[in-house]
Amino acid sequence: MTETSVRPTVLVVDDESGILQTLEILLRGAGFTPLCAHGGRAALDALATAVPDIVLTDIRMPVVDGVQVLEAARARDAELPVILMTAQASLQSAMQAVNAGAFYYIQKPFRNDELLAILRRAAEHRQLKAENRSLKQEIQRQGRRAVEPPVGTNRAWREVLRLAEAVAPTESTVLLTGESGTGKEVVARYIHALSERTRGPFQTVNCGALPEGLLESELFGHVKGSFTGAVKDAEGLFAAAAGGTFFLDEIGETTPATQVKLLRVLQHREVIPVGATEPRPIDTRILAATNRDLEAEIQQGRFRQDLFYRLNVIAIHLPPLRDRVDDIPLLADHFLRGAAAQRGAEPKVLSDAAVEAMRAYAWPGNVRELENAMERAMILATGPVVEVGALPERVLTRAAPPLAEERAIRNPTLELVERAYIFWVLQQEQGNKTRAAEALGIDPSTLHRKLARYEGMK
């Protein structure tokens, strides 16, 4: 329906009235707005007049089956997520569903919490697509070419994108901070793509990957004969980025000597090539990134304070993936589709158990580690659905959360002990909340309430 619906609209399609009534009650109580269609023909009529946010349809129905409903829904809106239900699951029917573009494929009878989790992921997916379209329209109204924003709807991530979009049209220097693998270069490229320099080059150098002498030559260029092997003049990457953007990745790894020269670049917009005596002007916008705490580096005498102030005109901090748990399914789906496209294969979808395991893992390598895990899963998953067995072992054998942050507790409270035990049981059950509730001897709804409370304790 509308792109800003607070309660996502779900078109529920089945030829059994009892199932329709049960699903209507379940969805309405979970915050969705259900629209019920008795059979495939009624679903086609409903799709002819309105587009819901999600379609949930049975496969086996007389006259018009679920795959035909899926095809009609995708023809109406190519980005509309469609979830197929069947009581007679098979690898062939699952492959048919995925090949036809289904968002997910679920077997009857299913657990209510499993279905609701899938519907919420579909709603998140729908909302992300809506936000992307809105951003593209805004960019086009401003006379800039449409640019796909980096994937994510998490509140902290949206703030990162908001800052990037605000600073992109300016010439201000931007310092991107955050742990390795959080997507600093992705955001830098996004800023460049939205800037007035978008038609110019985007040059990048990893300051920690080159020795000092070679780094200076790469950055500033050199003149013929300035050192052994300099058989001709070379302009350097700053000059090569003329009219575009130059991204200095891991700038915290530079030596004091290189920092002095970088300060000159930022102050005077000119470089002195190695072996030259006269400065040469440059025309490039400078972005920089680091996973180090530069203020701590200044205190240790390893980074120049004046250079820090020149770089830190606009600071954007990227959150680690463990603080973006709600974005994990979206990112995983994005990476699975990318891995499938590279291989000319059909994309796979994640099982509910796989998503639960991934949400519970800390991802120390952040988004980069998740991307690698999804490439692995795309290769190892034997069917159209990625199960937990296709995930890296480290994701499944994570350590149970400690009783407290960074310190031992001599006499922990009963709630802290209970919390640690519940997380340990969840780990043993590979994130499956239903089995964990059975092992704990409590109702699944009680477990969900406890987990929600623990989330608020972080």
Residues 194, 15: Cα–Cα separation, whole Å: 49
| Residues 447 and 377 grouped into a single domain | no
Residues in the chain: 458
CATH number at residue 343: 1.10.8.60
Weakest mean pLDDT among 89-93, 109-113, 367-371, 403-407: 403-407
| Residues 305 and 333 grouped into a single domain | no
CATH number at residue 428: 1.10.10
Q: Which domain holds residue 282?
A: 155-318
Is residue 144 assigned to a domain? no
pLDDT band at 248 (very low <50, low <70, confident <90, very high): very high
Residue 47 C-beta-side C-alpha neighbours within 13 Å: 27
| Residues 76 and 163 grouped into a single domain | no
Q: How many CB atoms lie within 10 A of CB 301?
A: 9
Higher pLDDT, 276 or 370: 370
Give residue 127's pLDDT: 78
Higher pLDDT, 53 or 215: 53
Q: Which residue, of 270, 285, 318, is where some domain finishes? A: 318
Is residue 136 assigned to a domain? no
User: Which pair of tokens denotes residue 118?
Assistant: 């899938």
Determine the average pLDDT of the residues in 234-256.
Answer: 87
Exposed / middle / buried, residue 372 (Cβ in 10 Å: 0-12, 13-18, 19+): middle
Higher pLDDT, 323 or 453: 323
- The closest alpha carbon to 367, from 182, 161, 180, belongs to 182
Determine the average pLDDT of the residues in 170-191.
Answer: 94
Give residue 222's pLDDT: 63
Q: Which residue, of 397, 412, 447, is where some domain finishes? A: 397
- The yes-or-no verdict on residue 391 having pLDDT over 60 is yes
Give residue 281's pLDDT: 84
pLDDT band at 402 (very low <50, low <70, confident <90, very high): very low
Count of domains in the chain?
A: 4
- The yes-or-no verdict on residue 399 having pLDDT over 80 is no
Is residue 79 assigned to a domain? yes
| Residues 192 and 309 grouped into a single domain | yes
**Strand pairing class (82-86; 9-14):** unpaired
E strands, 209-276, are 244-249, 270-271
| Residues 304 and 341 grouped into a single domain | no
Give residue 250's pLDDT: 92
Determine the average pLDDT of the residues in 322-351.
Answer: 89
Higher pLDDT, 363 or 383: 363
Residues 432, 352: Cα–Cα separation, whole Å: 9
- The yes-or-no verdict on residue 88 having pLDDT over 70 is no
Specify whether the CB–CB gap between 55 and 11 falls below 8 A: yes
- The yes-or-no verdict on residue 128 having pLDDT over 60 is yes
Is residue 66 assigned to a domain? yes
Q: 233-242, 321-330, 343-352, 425-434 — which one is most confidently predicted on average?
A: 321-330
- The yes-or-no verdict on residue 230 having pLDDT over 60 is no
Give residue 231's pLDDT: 46
Which residues, in sequence order, are CB contacts of 280 under 8 Å at separation 6+?
A: 221, 239, 270, 271, 272, 273
Is residue 1 assigned to a domain? no
Give residue 406's pLDDT: 41
- The yes-or-no verdict on residue 217 having pLDDT over 80 is no
Determine the average pLDDT of the residues in 185-190.
Answer: 95
- The yes-or-no verdict on residue 335 having pLDDT over 50 is yes
Is residue 150 assigned to a domain? no
| Residues 385 and 413 grouped into a single domain | no
Give residue 67's pLDDT: 86
Q: What is the mean pLDDT of the chain?
A: 82
| Residues 383 and 406 grouped into a single domain | no
| Residues 179 and 90 grouped into a single domain | no
| Residues 161 and 226 grouped into a single domain | yes
| Residues 266 and 388 grouped into a single domain | no
* pTM recorded for the entire structure: 0.60
| Residues 289 and 177 grouped into a single domain | yes
Q: 74-88, 118-132, 230-244 — which one is most confidently predicted on average?
A: 74-88
Q: Which residue, of 375, 397, 419, is where some domain finishes? A: 397
Is residue 143 assigned to a domain? no
pLDDT band at 308 (very low <50, low <70, confident <90, very high): very high
Specify whether the CB–CB gap between 85 and 106 falls below 8 A: yes
- The closest alpha carbon to 262, from 314, 218, 196, belongs to 218
Is residue 355 assigned to a domain? yes
Give residue 190's pLDDT: 95
Give residue 252's pLDDT: 92
Give residue 99's pLDDT: 60
Determine the average pLDDT of the residues in 232-249.
Answer: 83
| Residues 95 and 204 grouped into a single domain | no
CATH number at residue 230: 3.40.50.300
Determine the average pLDDT of the residues in 316-339.
Answer: 92
Residues 148, 126: Cα–Cα separation, whole Å: 15
**147: region left, alpha or beta (phi > 0 left; psi from -120 to 50 alpha):** beta
* Tokens 């059979």, located at residue: 39
Give residue 1's pLDDT: 43
Determine the average pLDDT of the residues in 128-154.
Answer: 69
Weakest mean pLDDT among 92-106, 203-217, 251-265: 92-106
- The yes-or-no verdict on residue 419 having pLDDT over 90 is no
What residue type is assigned to position 172 of the chain? S
